Amino acid sequence: MSNPLGLWRRWWARRQQRWAPYLFISPFYILFLTFGLFPIVFSLTLSFHSWRAVGGLGTMRWIGLENYKFLLTDPWFWQSLWNTLILLVISGLPQHLIALPLAFLLNRRLPPRVRHLYSASYFFPYITSTVAISLVFGTIFGLHYGILNQLLNYLASATWSRWLFGWLKASLPINWLGKAVYIKPSIAIVVLWHWFGWNTILYLAGLQTIPKELFEAAKVDGANVWHEFWHISLPLLRPIIFFAVTMTIIGNMQLFDEPFILTGGTGG
């Protein structure tokens, strides 16, 4: 006669084996549903309604596509989209043009310990608070007491550099954060400094996954550094390049903190 307690234990053990994986991954899905999926669905639903939040959910009124119609006919939307695309080009493209060759040189020329030190230094801007970065660069780009204007004024006045920078004297101080012609490059410099280190580490990690035998075989065949980069590293890094560029596009489309803090919300 079978033991009921033994049967129950075997049944419970099978249940544990079946449900344990779902239990372990459940925290992720609970957090994703709460802070990821729900805000997306609620925002999509809200886009078809007119709602005064202080009045509660009962004040939501269906208006169909009116919000989208207002958005697409608002000139400020198209102007902001155009500004975002400009910043994407002048800040996003240099990130990868600098990060990819730099990662290649770090991977090729430096011993591991030194490479790790450089990697940490390049990654430091990424982990620094965006607010702190914007405040520091706000000091650099300040109108009357900014470091950049002070430096340009010195170079335009000094005897040894006047022949090269003297033409700037009449236009100083430059309002880097108050005129549209200057504010986009200023913001682009901040974004570039903030993110190129992250891309460098990303490309460096990808380069370290490439088998060294490929480079050794290329050297035997007489390939130089340029050939190794163009014909080995670049093709094998295409998936990582695609990912990095995609993340850059997403990041630039969400860009808000740097322009808002640098300009004080006034624009340029």
- pLDDT tens string, the chain, 268 residues long: the values are 456 666 667 767 777 777 878 888 889 989 999 998 999 999 999 999 998 877 777 888 899 899 999 999 999 999 989 999 999 999 999 999 999 999 988 888 777 777 788 878 878 888 888 888 888 998 999 888 889 999 998 988 888 888 888 888 888 889 998 888 899 999 999 999 999 889 999 999 999 898 888 888 888 888 888 888 898 889 999 999 999 999 999 999 888 888 888 887 665 5
Q: Of 91, 67, 105, nearest to 195 (Cα)?
A: 91
Cα 207 from Cα 61, distance rounded (Å): 54
Q: Of 111, 112, 137, 133, nearest to 124 (Cα)?
A: 133
Q: What is the pLDDT of residue 69?
A: 94
Cα 146 from Cα 193, distance rounded (Å): 18
CATH level 3 topology of 75-141+176-263: MetI-like fold (1.10.3720)
CA 69 to chain centre: 30
Q: What is the pLDDT of residue 23?
A: 82
H-state helical runs in the chain: 4-32, 38-46, 66-72, 75-87, 93-109, 112-127, 130-140, 147-157, 162-165, 180-207, 212-220, 225-228, 234-236, 238-253, 257-263
Backbone angles phi, psi at 210, to 5 degrees: -75, 130
Contact 198, 243 (CB under 8 A): no
Q: What is the pLDDT of residue 31?
A: 92
Backbone angles phi, psi at 251, to 5 degrees: -60, -40
Cα 31 from Cα 25, distance rounded (Å): 11
pTM over cut 0.85: no
Q: What is the pLDDT of residue 267?
A: 59
Cα 147 from Cα 9, distance rounded (Å): 73
Q: What is the pLDDT of residue 223?
A: 84
Q: Of 67, 61, 70, 77, nearest to 47 (Cα)?
A: 67
Q: Which two tokens stand for residue 202?
A: 């990303």
Which residues belong to CATH 1.10.3720.10 in the chain?
A: 75-141+176-263
SS3 category, 49? strand
Cα 184 from Cα 84, distance rounded (Å): 10
CA 214 to chain centre: 32
